[in-house]
């Protein structure tokens, strides 16, 4: 039984060994060129064989479903109607479901009426406590919190630099679309468009009202 497992392991090593030469024949010298356009053949998900990655100058591509710490989705800075607007409505669901309770949210308030506004005034995640489970992203009803691919977060500071605030956490929609194109497209299809779900709902409501008015 043990012998079988060892043979299977060795066959994987052997497969990678030969795949290195297959990729060499396929790409030639381009695979080892320091130019950036060889990323897919050398470090991309389709790369095969055994090779040395010169980390940190080079990095292996991570799969789309890779998850590290969460980030918040916000509109682009050049969005025509609401530049930089948070997708988060500060509903608090992510903070409730977070197993180690490392999310803090302060909801915005209207300065005149004191009534709550559905957007966060402050949002903090302690990434030293976050266990990268992805529950917050799974449960968010507004697609506003996502798991990032950026895993280089080490620092010499053990105090506040690992408590990410709203500025640090906020990344534009284009970033999410770039790191997770398949999931972003699936989510947009489920929402009915690429915008925030509330914007899509408002637009549909306005279209219905316009159609009703036109019938009269
Ligand atoms: S990130 Fe999502 S779940 Fe968390 S408070 Fe904002 S809208 Fe709610
Ligand atoms: S990934 Fe998990 S542990 Fe980290 S903030 Fe989200 S729910 Fe909490």
**Domain residue limits, the chain:** 1-60, 70-204
* Protein residue with its CA nearest to atom 4 in ligand 2: 130
> What pLDDT score does 41 carry?
79
pLDDT at residue 109 above 90? yes
* Protein residue with its CA nearest to atom 4 in ligand 1: 94
Which CATH code is given to the segment(s) 70-204? 3.30.70.3270
Nearest to 45, CA basis, from 207, 142, 179: 179
Q: For 121-165, write each residue's pLDDT tens digit.
A: 999 999 999 999 999 999 999 999 999 999 999 888 878 889 999
> What pLDDT score does 173 carry?
97
Using DSSP bridges, classify how beta strands 163-164 and 116-126 pair: parallel, antiparallel or unpaired: antiparallel
Q: For 10-46, write each residue's pLDDT tens digit.
A: 999 999 889 888 888 888 888 777 666 677 777 777 7
Q: Is 35 exposed, middle or buried (0-12, 13-18, 19+ CB in 10 A)?
A: exposed
From the CA of 133, give the closest atom in ligand 2. 2
């Amino acid at each position: 039984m043990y012998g079988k497992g060892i043979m299977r392991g060795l066959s994987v090593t052997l497969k990678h060994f030969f795949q290195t030469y297959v990729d060499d024949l396929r790409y030639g010298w381009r695979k080892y060129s320091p130019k950036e356009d060889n990323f897919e053949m050398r470090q991309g998900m389709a790369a095969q064989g055994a090779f040395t990655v010169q980390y940190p100058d080079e990095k292996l591509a991570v799969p789309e479903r890779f998850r590290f710490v969460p980030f918040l989705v916000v509109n682009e800075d050049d969005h025509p109607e609401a530049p930089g607007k948070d997708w988060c409505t500060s509903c608090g669901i992510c903070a409730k479901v977070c197993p180690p309770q490392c999310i803090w949210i302060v909801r915005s308030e209207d300065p005149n009426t004191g009534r709550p506004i559905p957007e966060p005034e402050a949002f903090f995640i302690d990434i030293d406590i976050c266990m990268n489970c992805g529950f917050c992203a799974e449960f968010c009803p507004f697609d506003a919190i996502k798991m990032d691919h950026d895993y280089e977060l080490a620092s010499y500071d053990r105090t506040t630099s690992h408590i990410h605030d709203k500025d640090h956490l906020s990344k534009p929609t284009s970033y999410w679309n770039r790191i997770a194109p398949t999931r972003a497209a699936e989510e947009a299809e489920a929402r009915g468009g690429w915008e925030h779900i509330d914007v899509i709902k408002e637009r549909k409501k306005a279209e219905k009202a316009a159609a009703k008015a036109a019938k009269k």
